[in-house]
Amino acid sequence: MPNVIAEAKFFACTQSTELAEKIVASYGAKLGKVITSTYSDGEFQPSFEESVRGSRVFIIGSTHPNSDHLMEMLLMLDAAKRASARHITAVLPYYGWARQDRKDKPRVPIAAKLIAKMLETAGATRIITMDLHADQIQGFFEKPVDHLFASTIFLPYLQSLNLEDLTVASPDMGGSKRAYAYSKALTSDVVICYKQRAKANVISHMELIGDVTGKNVVLVDDMVDTAGTLTKAADLMMERGAKSVRAICTHPILSGAAYERLENSKLEELIVTDSIPLKQKSTKIKVVSCADLFADVMRSVHNNESISSKFVM
């Protein structure tokens, strides 16, 4: 008998509905209907309002805090499993809790591993995500993981700016590998910021490794949370003689005083994806959609085609 490819169906978690609509429109399909019932104490129950039996189901939702976003993904995976879906792919544009990928001190959890196991237990048979905080998180799963790189959409945008004297920068030592990959693609120099933290989200000291005099600098990171590191790095580089500083950050968490810091900083532009919806607008933030990237990969996954062309870094 011929190998029949199961029908693909697409569903969105509430926090990622806008992005899911873009992804599915790019794919050339429509979002399936989900109704969420909520109890007075905050407990909620998602329900697929159409059959998924024998289908390949894509459930789209970023799992950034609060924890309701993760819980909704888990409940929808469980519902699809119990409704006899044939394949269940969790599409997580942003994989939340990924900063807890190891024990950096005694008696702390490895949350990224815990969530991987939760997703698999709930019913995910495949994971599609983008720019994990640490590449090794893929190894926390026993199921296939497609780890996409936002560089495939950021690089064309950067090249369109036609910046002369371009230098790529990493805001910390941990991001140096990512910065070197961008610099190779852009044939540019690299500088690195060395920072020391007093505690989480609080920088006590920062130094610059490399020369930015007369350079147009592009800071590269996987996420921007409070924007403290980025804005401090940008101000430091401008003090050291940079022509301009802009930043590329895949996931715009932007919590606390992030928007205020961005507006008051010397950053010319912050370029992000729509993996997480922005809490408010800012003249300094440029959003580049990742919808086409996810749609292309999901189509290839559904048709059992290679997606190696999406791994450019």
Query: Measured between alpha carbons, how far is 220 from 176 in angstroms, rounded to an integer?
Result: 9
Q: Which of 169, 165, 119 is CA-nearest to residue 144? A: 119
CA angle 38, 42, 44 (to 5 degrees): 40
> Per the residue annotation, which of 22, 81, 143, 195 is the catalytic one?
195
- ∠ Cα 160 268 242 (to 5°): 95
- Cis ω for the linkage preceding 3 (within 30 of 0): no
The C-alpha atoms of residue 219 and residue 169 are separated, in whole angstroms, by 5
**99: Cα within 13 Å, side-chain hemisphere:** 11
SS3 152: helix
Integer CA distances (angstroms), 238 to 193, 216, 248, 302, in order: 13, 10, 17, 47
Residue 195 is a catalytic residue: yes
Query: What is the CB neighbour count within 10 angstroms for residue 199?
Result: 7
- Which tokens in the block code for residue 292? 């086409």
Question: HSE of 288 in the Cβ direction (CA atoms, 13 Å)?
Answer: 19
User: Which of 72, 40, 77 has the alpha carbon at shortest distance from 58?
Assistant: 77
- From the list 84, 81, 115, the residue with the least C-alpha distance to 100 is 115
Under 8 Å between Cβ of 69 and 13: yes
CA angle 30, 33, 35 (to 5 degrees): 155
Q: Which residues are catalytic?
A: 195
